[in-house]
Amino acid sequence: MSPLPADLGEGAIVRRLTMDDLPEVWATVDASRDRLEPWMPWIDGTRTIEDQRQWLESVVRDEVSLDGCGIFVDGRYAGGVGLRWDPFGIKGEIGYWISAELEGRGLVTRAVRVLLDIGFREIGLHRIEIRAGVDNVRSRAIPERLGFTREGVERGRERGSNGFYDTVAYSILEDEWPPSA
Amino acid sequence: MSRPFLDVGDNLELRRLDPPDAEVLQVIIEADRDRLRPWMFWAESSTVDSTRAFIEKAVTDERLDPLGIVVDGELVGVVGADADAITGNYSLGYWIGSSYEGRGYVTRACSALIDHLFSVAGCHRVSLAVSVENPRSRAIAERLGLQQEGLLREAHLNDLGYQDVALYGILAQERRAS
């Protein structure tokens, strides 16, 4: 995947993770636990650095997805982004999170743009989805800002520390990216 | 050889598949290949060996995908409920041989399976995704009382081109209320 690492400006990049990132990824995830718990289904199963290692090994080894990418600011891990797709190369899905202190700078939006470029141009996907909690306003702002279309609300699809929650399904099609305006 | 899983009643049951079932299933798949191909990604290239390999890989004591639909002791189709590892929510899928279509077997089989998922497996949500170009399949979702929650644009591709996919869901509390 030639476009990675990609420059996000202001000292930030997005790149694939490697096993060398384990200590920093774990430290950042563990410090962000309160913030991730309501929304991220995986955080409950990420209780030790060993859990984190298993996840990292699986995504580093995975050559048919970009599920394990990280946003780095001045060389420090700031959050995760990922793109995975179905075996037929038709549909992709993007997910993301960012640490509290780096939120609000547009880093996730820019990293998602990079993954959209890769998904449509390099991988040739037809459709890319983002799902966000109905009440997760900041997360929903990203697909809305990028010109995604809202397609429905899946009731009780995900589970966080406050129980099951509804998710909004968004998508963008290959002929809609990049937005012309 | 037959391992009953759910007795739906009135000579309809669900049972776990065994590798030798591939031969019976393949007879149906070959007779119905043109009918299955637009909706089932595996139908075009399916062989006895690929079907047997699928059964060997997919069937475990824990998984509920695939299960055989058995009418009067005869295997006539497949239904499955695939669990999300993190949330424990399930998504449904199904197909049945054309000579058994239109008699409500899939609807009854899915209804019994949904009851099992909510009452025994204790799951929160069951979903089903169907191309809008497949009205018979959509009718099953609607008869089962699933609510349409969204329309995923151009999410399925077959010889007819890209099609929108209707997404249906039902929650445990709705099933209890009905």
Nearest-neighbour CA in chain B from A105: distance (Å): 30
Among chain B residues, CA nearest to A156: B125
CA distance A2 to A5: 8
- Tell me if B167 and A157 make a contact (CB, 8 A cut-off): no
Are the Cβ atoms of A154 and B169 closer than 8 angstroms? yes
pLDDT at A135: 97
Choose among A45, A151, A155: nearest Cβ to B152. Answer: A151
pLDDT at B62: 87
Q: How high is the pLDDT of residue B61? A: 85
- Give the model confidence (pLDDT) of A28-82 as tens digits: 999 999 999 999 989 989 999 999 999 999 999 998 999 999 999 999 999 999 9
ipTM comes to 0.92
pLDDT tens-digit readout, A104-160: 999 999 999 999 999 999 999 999 999 999 999 999 999 999 999 999 999 999 999
Which chain B residues are closer than 8 Å to A42 by Cβ? 86
Q: Which of B96, B89, B122 is nearest to B40 (CA)?
A: B96
Residue of B117, B125, B151 to mutate, interface with A, max A Cβ within 10 Å: B125
Name which of A129, A152, A159 is nearest B87 (Cβ-Cβ).
A159
Distance CA B30, CA A158 (A): 38
Q: What are phi and psi of A17, to 5 degrees?
A: -80, 155
Report residue A27: phi and psi, to 5°: -60, -40
Residue of A58, A151, A176 to mutate when probing chain B, most B C-beta within 10 A:
A151
Positive/negative CA dihedral, B22, B25, B27, B33: negative
- Cα Rg of chain A (Å, integer): 16
3-class secondary-structure state, position A28: helix
Cα B96 from Cα B35, distance rounded (Å): 11
A5 and B CB contact within 8 Å? no
CA distance A76 to chain B (A): 29
Q: How close does chain A come to B143, measured CA to CA in Å?
A: 19
For residue A181, what pLDDT is reported? 61
Contact A148, A46 (CB under 8 A): no
Residue B87 at interface with chain A, using a CB cutoff of 8 Å = yes
Please give the pLDDT value at position A2: 56
| Preceding peptide of A5 cis, ω within 30° | yes
Identify all chain A residues contacting B157, using CB atoms and an 8 Å cutoff: 88, 90, 126
> Among B88, B153, B167, whose Cβ lies nearest the Cβ of A154?
B167
pLDDT grade for A180, boundaries at 50, 70 and 90: confident
Closest-CA distance of chain B to residue A167, Å:
11
Residue A5 has pLDDT above 60, yes or no: yes
How far apart are alpha carbons A98 and A129 in whole angstroms?
Answer: 19
- Residues of chain B short of pLDDT 50, as ranges, are 1
Please give, one letter per residue, the 3-state secondary structure of chain B: CCEEEEEEECCEEEEECCCCHHHHHHHHHHHCHHHHCCCCCCCCCCCHHHHHHHHHHHCCCCCEEEEEEEECCEEEEEEEEEECCCCCCEEEEEEECHHHCCCCHHHHHHHHHHHHHHHCCCCCEEEEEEECCCHHHHHHHHHCCCEEEEEEEEEEEECCEEEEEEEEEEEHHHHHHC
Query: In DSSP terms, which residues pair with A91 in a beta bridge?
Result: A127
Cβ contact, residue pair B127, A91, below 8 Å? no
